[in-house]
Amino acid sequence: MSDLVLKIEDLTKVYKLGKRDVQPLTNLNLDVKKGEFTAIMGPSGSGKTTLLNIIGCIDKATSGKVLIDDIDVAKLPESKLYKIRRDKIGFVFQNFNLVPYLNARENVELSMELAGKFQGQRGERANEVLATVGLSGREQHRPQRLSQGEQQRVAIARALAKDPAIILADEPTGNLDVTNKREIVKLLSDLNQKQGTTIIMVTHDEQVAMQTHRMLTLRDGKISEDKVCGAASLDNQPSEAIEA
Amino acid sequence: MGILTRVTRNIWRKKTRSSIVILTVCLALTLLIVLPPSINERATITQSAVNSLVDYNNDVTSSVTLSATEIQCEYGYDINPSLFGTGPIYFANGLMNASMYNELVSIPDVATVIPIFEDLVTANRSYEIYGVPLGNSSDFKDPSIMPSNITAGRNLQIGDSGVVVVDDVTAKNYSLSVGSSFDVLGRNFTVVGIEAWSPAQGYCVTMNLEDAWAITNTTGQATKYLVFVDNVDSVNSVVTRIQSLDPKLQISSGALQLNSVSGLQSQLSELTNSDQSTLSSIQSTGAAEICLAIAAVVVTVLFMMLFSVRERTKEIGTLKAMGATNGVILGQFMLEAILLCLIAVVIALAISKTVLPTLSSLLLPMPVEIGPGLAPYPNGTMYLQPNTVGYSKTLILPGHETNFLAASITPQSMLLAVGVALLLGALGSLYPALKAARTKPAEAMRYE
């Protein structure tokens, strides 16, 4: 097995919008190594979210290859894709997408329950990842009783709980204030550095993107720029720097 | 934390909506629980009434056909209030003496004359003494003179003497049973049979005519004569001859009865048709209401779950992005609907017993119509103007008993209701749940 966790070859996506064909991705190629923290940037409509959805197996490529841990998910039918989503992918959404009637621990446990983990394992692991994201003592709180920053931490803990091959974060700081934005980016950065978690993050915020290893810019369905970043600690950045 | 926890939490989270759904489904399920036993009960009652009417009609017809050559003659009721309760024996109809018997026998074309003796209840005695001839088989030419509905022991038979058949009310009043010794006007009789009380017969102790004569000291006399002629053609001439013996005599004949019977039969036929149409009306109304209730449950669940699926599209997308299978999504939504129906059916079962009679009478036609000429008696018996036709058998028409409309919900019907509720919950939620399960995660995530 190679050290690539993700390899994309000639990925094209076409979909219908009314009578018109829209092609958000055109012959896109991309390699992501294990443990890499990658940011994807680009203007609205450049295909960032479409790319993330295809990597996350919640959308299908029109053509090309998408290999996750050497499995070409572009060829898999829906009946098998759920296993990839369940075992290999952890999603973090802009709007957190927590289940409102479950508390923080239950939300985290849910991803493990779907992955078929036993209840005993689930509880222990949920407490562990909630502690990792700094939410010890908040396990019983439901989403509406948590701040937005805390909700996003729960969402990260949920993605992290099942040890996925890749965490896909779709504008995880998009709905957060400056302080929370900084903390979430720092958390993702720490997870990547300390636990070697592979993270692919879509963001509009260049300052946030600068905290990753690599910054890709999408334009017209292709990667127009692939830049190595410093991944410097956010603690050294002034708050204004990461303000949108 | 499993699927059940998620489902119950979601039901609890949407308390108002869940309550409305539970209430609606509960009302519909109450109908489903209440209607089948009520329809069944009413159908049974009505069918039974129809059968009774048909049997009665047949009985009347055969009785009249049998007695086509029979002429009954008696004095009409001539009640003298001063006599009532003053003596041990009271002859309401007036007695015809032995010479009348001889005159009747001597009329040409008369084949047989059967004397009947009947006194009436007095203040000291709450039963009538009824004497019927038991000398030979020709005395049974009109079987209606004999006790007709023996419930214990046996009926009177040829050659019986010193024995009686009593009606069950009299038996109870005097603590009598088969084999008991019974003192009637100073003479001991053995009770050989108990007959069902009927309004036509009244409280009655039936015995051999000879015995009745002996204890009432009226030998040779009768309150009624049954005159049988050789053939139907002679009935009218014999009636004229009898009437000439004493103009006060009240005479009825099989031929006269036939006219009344045709009226009775058309009345019975009308009642039968009316009850049969009631029966089909009960069944069709009930079936329509059941279909409506089923549709109400399915439609309520369907729309509620469609709304829920639409509202939770993003949650569905999130679950699918996390690796939930179609089965997990399908199961969660169906379980939610089934659980709501389960709660509804428990409440419906709890209230059904109380509301059953009210709902039943609101939703279904009454089972048996009381037609003209029918008078209800206690315990469901109906008295069909017997005097007008000379036919005195009581019509037992069900549907007017004191426990009328007492349909109940059995454990089997409770289990069935639970099963139906689960099935309808599953049925109503199937389409929305499938829709949820088939939602494409990317589309669901985009849904606002």
pLDDT averaged over chain B? 81
Chain centroid to CA A206: 17
Give one DSSP letter per residue of A5-25, joined into a string.
EEEEEEEEEEEEETTEEEEEE
DSSP H or E run through A219: strand A214-219
| Distance from C-alpha of A59 to C-alpha of A47, rounded to nearest angstrom | 12
Q: Kindly report whether the global pTM for this prediction surpasses the value 0.90.
A: no
Residues B403 and B282 in one domain: yes
Residues B165 and B305 in one domain: no
Average pLDDT over residues B433-448: 85
Q: Beta partners for B72?
A: B226, B252
Shortest distance between the Cα of A83 and any Cα of chain B, in A, equals: 6
Give one DSSP letter per residue of B290-340, joined into a string.
HHHHHHHHHHHHHHHHHHHHHHTHHHHHHHHHTT--HHHHHHHHHHHHHHH
Q: Which residues of A are less than 8 Å from B9 in CB distance?
A: 101-102
Residues B233 and B277 in one domain: no
Residue B254 lies in a domain: no
Residues B298 and B429 in one domain: yes
Give one DSSP letter per residue of A45-87, joined into a string.
TSSHHHHHHHHTTSS--SEEEEEETTEEGGG--HHHHHHHHHH
**Roughly how many angstroms between the first and final C-alpha of chain A, as a whole number?**
40
H helices of B312-438, in order, are 313-321, 326-363, 386-389, 411-437
Of residues B107 and A17, the one with the higher pLDDT is B107
Read off the tokens for B334.
């169906």
**What phi and psi values does residue B10 have, to the nearest 5 degrees?**
-70, -40
Average pLDDT over residues A85-101: 90
Indicate yes or no: CB of B6 within 8 angstroms of CB of A100. no
Q: What pLDDT does A169 receive?
A: 92
Q: What pLDDT does B90 receive?
A: 56
Please determine, for residue A244, whether its predicted confidence score (pLDDT) is greater than 70.
Answer: no
Q: What pLDDT does A46 receive?
A: 85
Please determine, for residue B376, whether its predicted confidence score (pLDDT) is greater than 80.
Answer: no
3 state DSSP class of B212? helix
Q: What pLDDT does B369 receive?
A: 58
Chain centroid to CA A173: 11
Residues B211 and B101 in one domain: yes
CB A16 within 8 A of CB A62: no
Q: What pLDDT does A105 receive?
A: 92
Q: A190: buried, middle or exposed (CB in 10 Å: 19+, 13-18, 0-12)?
A: middle
Assess B322–A contact: CB distance below 8 Å, yes or no.
yes
Average pLDDT over residues A175-192: 85
The pLDDT tens digits for B171-219 are: 999 999 999 999 998 899 999 999 988 766 778 899 999 999 999 888 8
Residue B259 lies in a domain: no
Structural domain harbouring B391: 3-61+264-446
Residues B323 and B426 in one domain: yes
Please determine, for residue A43, whether its predicted confidence score (pLDDT) is greater than 70.
Answer: yes
Residue B67 lies in a domain: no
Of B220, B247, B274, the residue that ends a domain is: B247
Q: What pLDDT does B441 receive?
A: 86
Residues B288 and B242 in one domain: no
Shortest distance between the Cα of B428 and any Cα of chain A, in A, equals: 24
- Output b/e per residue, A10-31; b: 16+ Cβ within 10 A: ebebeeeeeeeeeebbbebebe
The domains of chain A are located at 99-163
Q: Beta partners for A31?
A: A7
Percentage above 90 pLDDT, chain B: 29
pLDDT band, very low/low/confident/very high, at A123 (cuts 50, 70, 90): confident
Q: Which residues of B are less than 8 Å from A53 in CB distance?
A: 442, 445
Report the complex ipTM.
0.87
CB B397 within 8 A of CB B374: yes
pLDDT averaged over chain A? 86
Please determine, for residue B77, whether its predicted confidence score (pLDDT) is greater than 90.
Answer: no
Whats the size of chain A, residue-wise? 244
Residue B420 lies in a domain: yes
Q: Which chain A residue is nearest to residue B439, measuring alpha carbons?
A: A58
Residues B152 and B210 in one domain: yes
Q: How many CB atoms lie within 10 A of CB B391?
A: 22
Within 258-277 of B, beta carbons closer than 8 Å to A belong to: none
| Distance from C-alpha of B126 to C-alpha of B165, rounded to nearest angstrom | 15
Among the partner-chain residues A82, A93, A110, the one whose CB lies closest to the CB of B325 is: A82
The pLDDT tens digits for B278-324 are: 788 888 888 898 899 889 889 999 999 999 999 999 999 999 999 89
Query: Which range has the worst mean pLDDT, A145-154, A189-198, B392-401?
Result: B392-401
| Distance from C-alpha of B326 to C-alpha of B344, rounded to nearest angstrom | 27
DSSP H or E run through B382: strand B381-384
| Distance from C-alpha of B430 to C-alpha of B47, rounded to nearest angstrom | 40
> Measuring CA to CA, how many Å separate B71 from each of A230, B67, B115?
129, 8, 12
Q: Which residues of A are less than 8 Å from B311 in CB distance?
A: none
Average pLDDT over residues B233-251: 87
DSSP H or E run through A128: helix A119-132
Of residues B164 and A174, the one with the higher pLDDT is B164
Query: Which range has the worst mean pLDDT, A20-29, B182-191, B226-235?
Result: B226-235
User: Within 13 Å of residue A234, how many CA atoms lie on the same side as its CB?
Assistant: 25
> Measuring CA to CA, how many Å separate A56 from each of A18, A65, A165, B139, B341?
25, 14, 11, 104, 37
Q: B408: buried, middle or exposed (CB in 10 Å: 19+, 13-18, 0-12)?
A: exposed
Query: Which range has the worst mean pLDDT, A143-152, A163-172, B140-149, B371-380?
Result: B371-380
Residues B13 and B51 in one domain: yes
Of B184, B218, B247, the residue that ends a domain is: B247
Residues B290 and B408 in one domain: yes
Among the partner-chain residues A99, A102, A115, the one whose CB lies closest to the CB of B323 is: A115
What's the number of domains chain B is made of?
2
Of B206, B221, B247, the residue that ends a domain is: B247
Q: Which chain B residue is nearest to residue A82, measuring alpha carbons?
A: B323
| Distance from C-alpha of A156 to C-alpha of A167, rounded to nearest angstrom | 9
Of residues B321 and B260, the one with the higher pLDDT is B321
What is the amino acid identity at position A139?
Answer: E
Query: Which range has the worst mean pLDDT, A7-16, A24-33, A233-242, B293-302?
Result: A233-242
Average pLDDT over residues B76-87: 51
What is the amino acid identity at position A196?
Answer: G
Please determine, for residue B387, whether its predicted confidence score (pLDDT) is greater than 80.
Answer: no
- Interface residue of A80, A114, A124, A202 to substitute, partner B, most B CBs within 10 Å: A114
Give one DSSP letter per residue of B108-174, joined into a string.
TTEEEEEEEEE----SS-SSEEEEE--SSGGGGSSGGGS---EEEE----TT--SEEEEEHHHHHHT
Give one DSSP letter per residue of B27-96, joined into a string.
HHHHHHHHHHHHHHHHHHHHHHHHHHHHHHHHHHHHHHHHGGGEEEEEEPP---TTTTTTSS---TT--B
Average pLDDT over residues B18-38: 88
Residues B243 and B270 in one domain: no
Q: What pLDDT does A2 receive?
A: 64
Please determine, for residue B82, whether its predicted confidence score (pLDDT) is greater than 80.
Answer: no
Residue B71 lies in a domain: no
Residues B297 and B379 in one domain: yes
Average pLDDT over residues B38-59: 78
Shortest distance between the Cα of A99 and any Cα of chain B, in A, equals: 7
Query: Which range has the worst mean pLDDT, B71-75, B247-251, B269-273?
Result: B269-273
Average pLDDT over residues A36-46: 90
Q: What pLDDT does B75 receive?
A: 78
Q: What pLDDT does B341 receive?
A: 93
Q: What pLDDT does B65 receive?
A: 64
Residue B365 lies in a domain: yes
Of residues A143 and B70, the one with the higher pLDDT is A143
Please determine, for residue B404, whether its predicted confidence score (pLDDT) is greater than 60.
Answer: no
